[in-house]
Structure 1
Amino acid sequence: MNYTDKNMQDVWKKDKDHHIHPWTDFATFEDTGAMILSSGDKAHVVDGEGKKYLDGIGGLWCVNIGYGRQEIAQAMADQVMKIPYYSAFGHHTTQPAAELSAKLAELAPGDLNHVLYGCGGSVANDTAVRLVHFYFNQLGKPTKKKIISRVDAYHGSSYMTMSITGVKFDHIGFDVEKDLVHHISCPNPYRRPEGQSLEAFCDEKVQELEDKILELGPDNVAMFFAEPIMGAGGVIVPPPGYHKRTLDVCHKYGVLYISDEVVTAFGRLGHMFASEEEFGIVPDIITCAKGLTSGYIPLGATIISDKIYNVINKPQAEGALFTHGYTYSGHPVSCAVALKNIEILEREKICDNAKTMGAYFESQLRNLMDLPIVGDVRGKKFMICIENVADKETKELIDAKAKVGDRIANHCEDAGLLVRPLAHMNILSPPLILTKENIDFLVSTLRTAIEKTISDLKTEGFL
């Protein structure tokens, strides 16, 4: 990328030479480097050359309240001047950590009243694993350790959470834990067998979970991880009733149900938490991050039920401690930002905007189904995936060498819109403050980008 500004060119080169990016394509990075984002306002970001883009990615499922919030900056500054940090180990705390814990307990469903903090979603899910193992040890069930997850699920990038992640592409070249972690198939209605009803598909997936628990042995299975809507795996919305029925199966065998709301919490589906409001379940644990601070500062939380807390809060041996937590657990600046972020979400009724504008967003994007390569438009509110195929009838994919998702994203970028490419798909997770005008621009720009991509693919013989 050639920046005309010498300072930006210098930044670009320093980044390319020294910054290892997550999910980097090393085959192209040496030549292309990274786009420098220099500023943002509301639903837009600006690159190092001064070009403005509507952010259809929300940073990465993150910037729910939009960019440029002075209140957040002030909350950071105020807390830094009061006390920027103190360890939460043992018998110390800060006011923001205490206040946020109470607020999350108020917002979370059922008896999920207790909070452990970390720096993001991976840590929140890692904490859930360690906590559940400890819980069953305390109950005298030391064999109850195994974890069930799903193909195409995404739960993080630590060693354990990447093992729980079921996106096989992400495992290439890396080691993962294969004894503790077991996967059942993805509940993707779009890819169900031809002629199978949604009800029969749901029956099959629920039975598969029960069969897996029985295969591994109920005395050995500790937990089931489930995103309410699977995000990085392609925005998979399971069939109606799936979550309620899988939770019932888990509880039948004493398996804890972990709802990974790292993406879905704090408004993305129009609710502070989606588990109960959208899917009718009260899980044993909810993990969250991203929208908790709208990405303004790192923070994640693992919210647990009274049932779990009342077991783990008993000393397991004389003089023993609850030896879990992190240097930055309950970081006061991060907690102060989360409190201000939640205040903004509530005061400005951003969840309501996500419901009304999100419904409009869904309906307008579904109009793209008239395009010959758009096989599926799925998701809810401000969490949508467009799946592109070579043949709508057979759902056959376009040759991977065509990099159709990248092509569409590149055409969008040229026109001032950022969307996320994921193989043959494009994912949209914009700030929750989008207006009708923003949505109309996004959808029309995306339509043009897909049309240009179709033309490119025909010219190059991919279609």
Structure 2
Amino acid sequence: MQTLDQADRQYALHPFTHLSNHQAQGPFLIERGEGVYVWDDKGNRLLEGMSGLWCASLGFSEQRLVDAATRQFAALPYAHMFSHHSTQPAIELSQRLVNMAPEGIGKCFFVNSGSEAVDTAVKMVWYYNNALGRPQKKTIIARRNAYHGVTVAAGSLTGLPYAQDGFDLPAIPVIHVDTPHAYRYAENGESEQAYSTRLAEALEQQILEAGADTIAAFIAEPVMGAGGVLVPPAGYFEKIQAVLARHDILFIADEVICGFGRTGNAWGSETYGIKPDMMTSAKQLSSAYLPIGAVLVSDAIYDAMQSHADKLGVFGTGNTYGGHPVAAAVALETLRIYEDDDIFGQVRQRSPHFLERVNALQNHPLVGNARGVGLIGAIELVADKDSRSPFPAADKIAVQVMLAARQHGLILRAAPGDTVAFCPPLIINDEQIDEMFDAVTDALNDVHQQHKPA
């Protein structure tokens, strides 16, 4: 009889996995979870320092979400939202999301994932410009190192080579502009404000070169997650938004990671003073208990799309499971828990201790830069602190730290640029924060010992 390990190697095709290496090493099997912890198939308890994939905000044993799903499964396990259909959970969730969104957002469209949300936002932007008689205004500006998903449009916007190599992406008109990463790209002695001004000026120059009448939207994560937890420099979004306003370019805030308390506020847009025309969300919307995402759209965009639909007929986009009643019920209960337990307030309360422990790692010989906001952070590893020179790519130094952390009972994630990311469940307490960073320190020490000169 095959073991699970054997069956996985024979039948499963894993995302974001080196396919040949997987055949040699097999899967890392997780069997159960409770609170901020998970257990592997060998009985080892590990603190889930990444909330799965930036998403399990309420941990792995929230009974209220289990009960919400159970009740809805018993009442109505499926219904769709096509052709004027709807359900109570979908309607109530739409209302709640719009009411908690920034000013000007008036409509909510449901999908099943962050990638679907970004793809749908792109389609809506194109539809909107067609409605306004601007068929040439279709190019989307994204940023290098950004992560917006892996479907065809979202993968085209993602500014990371591994999401495009071999897939013939980008497949839509996109311009990738500079990454806002002061540690790597600010000039010597340049302030964050001056660096932000330079980035905004470079953006405007690229818009002028391409022709503003061809640029439809700019998309950005408030904090760049999978690209290395890059926190924007001071003044960045204020200056970027001024450029976009001058050239009638929409702002899409990709809140898939930042939304629902990760930065200490309901939205990363709130944390950084972003006034978006559209927002994409997923992940913590349901604490990852069921797949669901949403595109939030301004009244101005909706009004234009509605007028276009009056000419064309059906608004011809949607998903079979978009607004699934069970997923919507779980998401609705997730938002209630955030409010009932003041989860966003807890994030603000825990954040100073979390960031203190993140920033303390700056003193480690392997760490060139430590950064974070709310309950998301990262360290960037360097071979030499003074020159900020990286390790050879073949060393995969961040992966070494990630694997060493697992030996100390902690799950982390290696990100591009020799970065190790932290994104624990929002319910983590101070003692568990210390447990997490003690394990990080032990992992760094292990790897440093291996790389010391003989």
Same fold per superposition (TM over 0.5): yes
Which residue of structure 2 lines up, in the alignment, with residue 237 of structure 1?
Answer: 231
Which residue of structure 2 lines up, in the alignment, with residue 455 of structure 1?
Answer: 449
Instruction: Give the alignment of 1:118-137 within 5 angstroms.
Output: 118-137=111-130
Which residue of structure 2 lines up, in the alignment, with residue 10 of structure 1?
Answer: 3
Supply the distance in 1 between the matched residues of 2:312 and 2:144 (Cα, whole angstroms): 42
Supply the distance in 1 between the matched residues of 2:144 and 2:22 (Cα, whole angstroms): 29
Which residue of structure 1 lines up, in the alignment, with residue 56 of structure 2?
Answer: 63
> Aligned AA for 1:418?
I
| CA offsets 1:81-135 (integer angstroms, 9 cap, x no match) | 1111112111110000000000001110102120111110000000000001000
**1:28 and 2:28 matched:** no
8 Å contact kept, 2:140–2:174: yes
Which residue of structure 1 lines up, in the alignment, with residue 241 of structure 2?
Answer: 247
**1:284 and 2:277 matched:** yes
Identity over the aligned pairs, expressed in percent? 37
Unaligned runs of 5+ in 1: 1-5
Which residue of structure 2 lines up, in the alignment, with residue 3 of structure 1?
Answer: none
Supply the distance in 2 between the matched residues of 1:250 and 1:14 (Cα, whole angstroms): 51
Unaligned runs of 5+ in 2: none
SS in 1 for 2:58: coil
Which residue of structure 1 lines up, in the alignment, with residue 204 of structure 2?
Answer: 210
Supply the distance in 2 between the matched residues of 1:298 and 1:243 (Cα, whole angstroms): 30
Which segment drifts farther, 150-159 or 160-169?
160-169
> Aligned AA for 2:356?
S
SS in 2 for 1:104: helix
Which residue of structure 2 lines up, in the alignment, with residue 326 of structure 1?
Answer: 319
Q: Judging changes above 3 Å, is the alpha-carbon distance between structure 1 residues 259 and 319 closer, same or farther for their aligned structure 2 residues? A: closer
Supply the distance in 1 between the matched residues of 2:393 and 2:370 (Cα, whole angstroms): 20
Which residue of structure 1 lines up, in the alignment, with residue 101 of structure 2?
Answer: 108
Which segment drifts farther, 93-102 or 78-87?
78-87
Supply the distance in 2 between the matched residues of 1:64 and 1:85 (Cα, whole angstroms): 25
Supply the distance in 2 between the matched residues of 1:363 and 1:333 (Cα, whole angstroms): 39
Which residue of structure 2 lines up, in the alignment, with residue 383 of structure 1?
Answer: 376
Instruction: Give the alignment of 1:55-454 within 5 angstroms.
Output: 55-177=48-170, 180-191=173-184, 192-276=186-270, 278-316=271-309, 318=311, 320-423=313-416, 424-454=418-448
| CA offsets 1:278-299 (integer angstroms, 9 cap, x no match) | 1112110011000000110100
TM-score by length of 1: 0.95
| CA offsets 1:387-425 (integer angstroms, 9 cap, x no match) | 000111111001122221111111111111111122522
8 Å contact kept, 2:384–2:390: yes
The Cα of 1:179 is off from its aligned counterpart by 5.8
The Cα of 1:163 is off from its aligned counterpart by 0.8
Supply the distance in 2 between the matched residues of 1:411 and 1:158 (Cα, whole angstroms): 32
Supply the distance in 1 between the matched residues of 2:327 and 2:238 (Cα, whole angstroms): 33
> Aligned AA for 1:399?
P
Q: Which aligned runs of 4 or more in structure 1 are off by greater than 6 angstroms?
A: none
The Cα of 1:454 is off from its aligned counterpart by 0.6
> Aligned AA for 2:24?
D
8 Å contact kept, 2:108–2:294: yes
Q: Give the length in aligned residue pairs.
A: 452
The Cα of 1:359 is off from its aligned counterpart by 1.9
8 Å contact kept, 2:402–2:413: yes
Q: Judging changes above 3 Å, is the alpha-carbon distance between structure 1 residues 118 and 196 closer, same or farther for their aligned structure 2 residues? A: same
The Cα of 1:174 is off from its aligned counterpart by 2.0
Give the CA RMSD over aligned residues: 1.4
> Aligned AA for 1:405?
A
TM-score by length of 2: 0.97
Which segment drifts farther, 400-409 or 222-231?
400-409
SS in 1 for 2:447: helix
SS in 1 for 2:46: strand
> Aligned AA for 2:7?
K
Supply the distance in 1 between the matched residues of 2:138 and 2:401 (Cα, whole angstroms): 43
The Cα of 1:319 is off from its aligned counterpart by 6.1
Which segment drifts farther, 112-121 or 172-181?
172-181
